[in-house]
Amino acid sequence: MYYLLPFKFNIFNGKELLINDLGDYMIVPRGTVQRIANKNIEKDEELYKNLTASFFISETPVPELLDVMSVRLATRKAFLDHFTSLHIFVLTLRCNQNCIYCQASSREKELHGYDMSIDSLKKAVDLMFCSPSPCLTMEFQGGEPTLVPQLIRFAIEYAESKNENANKEINYVICTNSVNLTDEILDICEKYKVLISTSLDGPLFLHNHNRGKQDSYQKVIAGITKAKERLGQHRVSALMTTSEDSLNYPQEIIDSYRENQFHSIFIRALNPYGLARENKDWGLYFDRFVDFYKKALDYIIEINLSGEMFIEEFTTLILRKILTPFPIGFVDLQSPAGIINAVVVYNYDGYVYASDESRMLAEFNDYTFQLGKVSDDYLYLFYGEKVQKIAQLWATETIAGCADCAFQSICGADPVRNYSTQGNMYGFRPTSTFCKKHKAIIEHIFTLLTEQEERVLPIFKRWLTGTRG
């Protein structure tokens, strides 16, 4: 006699994949779930021992190791402990590039009226310090934030002065295309240990095509090189956005990162915001993106097998949720959702938004996720009626199609994406491209872990620990 503990399952490569809320998983023969449910697993079976040890069944109504289970679940949800830690400051909407997929609806760099005022910036920093989190990340975005170095300097210096009493750990990040990394910007970065998060879409022909400038690649590489020489290799990271044209060049994109002395890549799909909204067939795009991702990951694995450590960052995030008990800071894979709980955006116009994608919707006059103004009270902004409404729909544990999904403990909730693509925050999983993409990628990673374990697991473990050899 045994008792069932909560778990979900999925038909997987002719077998059954069992996953519980703690992240434990097992691959078992078809029909095993039915045997478990019917309580036909005999105590002398090896399967019985494995199910018990992995918290799929219990020999007592209340598991003897309930405290262990609760600690493990609390650890997976630890990103909620201190509330909002990532604070994004959109200092300007102006930009010096012309990306064909721009998701931020940027404006020409010569235009006026698209920079954050000093007053709004000061109030936004004040709001950031209202967060109970002991660790804050202050991330500067745009447009292109390096066009307003005076705002970057003011924001950091004001934050530093406030922190003399607050005693928080503050990390600074500039998200930049690296075209305008002047000595003034790098002086600020060097003085305050600012990290550079830049973007590289691949080789020259592809990067220039995506950025709408014939000399973009040359300027970006020059900026990246200059930043690395001044700040150090470890202070400069890059990610790419997979445009429709990018889908044809997985190996070329990866090789361009290697040629420019990067040791990792974050394979990022387009999001349906800004100019990217004009894509006519998102279903086809994500079908092709998943195929692109698989080819890219296969190539990266081959690179690692040859002795060169090169990491795919999105895969590593999913592996951390599958193979470790620890939480991750990536908003797309959090439940409850990362919006508000983990990230908030202070827009150039003085308004506060639930996420980066939320303020992108606002550029099309949709203010559904606008929480208020930087002059508003902190409790009104972060605990008010609008946030309470969103909070009813931001957990995979309570959403139809997610609540019974085998990948629930690995995936995340995204009411902003649901609203943008399907017309409401609740969404509909059978036609959700967000769901389709994540399920396909997670399934592929499980396939690698089960069918090519000896080949890939040592590589994946090195990615998780950051160790070579």
Q: What is the pLDDT of residues 433-451, one digit of tens each?
A: 889 999 999 999 999 999 9
- Domain around 46: 3-76
pLDDT band at 279 (very low <50, low <70, confident <90, very high): low
Strands (E), 208-251: 236-242
Are 163 and 262 contained in the same domain? yes
Are 23 and 103 contained in the same domain? no
pLDDT band at 280 (very low <50, low <70, confident <90, very high): low
The helix/strand/coil state of 152 is: helix
Are 129 and 253 contained in the same domain? yes
Residue 253 has pLDDT above 80, yes or no: yes
Judge whether 317 and 270 are in contact, CB under 8 Å. Answer: no
Q: Which amino acid is at 462?
A: R
Task: For residue 258, report the phi and psi dihedrals to the nearest 5 degrees.
Answer: -65, -40
Average pLDDT value for residue range 68-77 = 91
Winning range, highest mean pLDDT, from 72-81, 96-105, 186-195: 186-195
The helix/strand/coil state of 20 is: strand
Distance CA 212, CA 101 (A): 10
Are 69 and 144 contained in the same domain? no
Average pLDDT value for residue range 192-196 = 96
Where b means 16+ CB within 10 Å and e means fewer, 444-460 reads bbbebbeeeeeebeebb
At residue 444, the pLDDT reads 96
Question: Euclidean distance between the first and final Cα of the chain, in Å?
Answer: 47
At residue 192, the pLDDT reads 96
Residue 262 has pLDDT above 90, yes or no: yes
Between 159 and 283, whose confidence is greater? 159
Residues in the chain: 469
Residue 439 lies in a domain: no
Are 203 and 298 contained in the same domain? yes
Distance CA 242, CA 231 (A): 28
Judge whether 88 and 344 are in contact, CB under 8 Å. Answer: yes
Residue 57 has pLDDT above 90, yes or no: yes
Contacts of 265 (CB under 8 A, 6+ apart): 238, 239, 240, 253, 254, 257, 296, 300, 310, 311, 312, 313
At residue 107, the pLDDT reads 77
Average pLDDT value for residue range 156-164 = 97
Judge whether 177 and 198 are in contact, CB under 8 Å. Answer: yes
Residue 222 has pLDDT above 90, yes or no: yes
Residue 299 has pLDDT above 70, yes or no: yes
Cα angle 297, 211, 98 (rounded to 5 degrees) comes to 145
**Residue that terminates a domain, selected from 48, 76, 104:** 76
**Residue that terminates a domain, selected from 24, 52, 76:** 76
Average pLDDT value for residue range 121-132 = 97
Contacts of 398 (CB under 8 A, 6+ apart): none
State what percent of residues in the chain have pLDDT above 70: 96
CB half-sphere exposure, 394, CA atoms < 13 A: 22
pLDDT band at 292 (very low <50, low <70, confident <90, very high): very high
List pLDDT tens digits, range 365-389: 899 999 999 999 999 999 999 999 9
User: Which pair of tokens denotes residue 423?
Assistant: 């017309």
Are 68 and 189 contained in the same domain? no
Residue 276 has pLDDT above 60, yes or no: no
Are 116 and 68 contained in the same domain? no
Paired sense of beta strands 15-20 and 25-29, if any: antiparallel
At residue 367, the pLDDT reads 92
- The total domain count for the chain is 2
Are 59 and 174 contained in the same domain? no
Task: For residue 7, report the phi and psi dihedrals to the nearest 5 degrees.
Answer: -160, 165
Which of 246-260, 352-366, 385-399 comes out lowest in average pLDDT?
Answer: 352-366
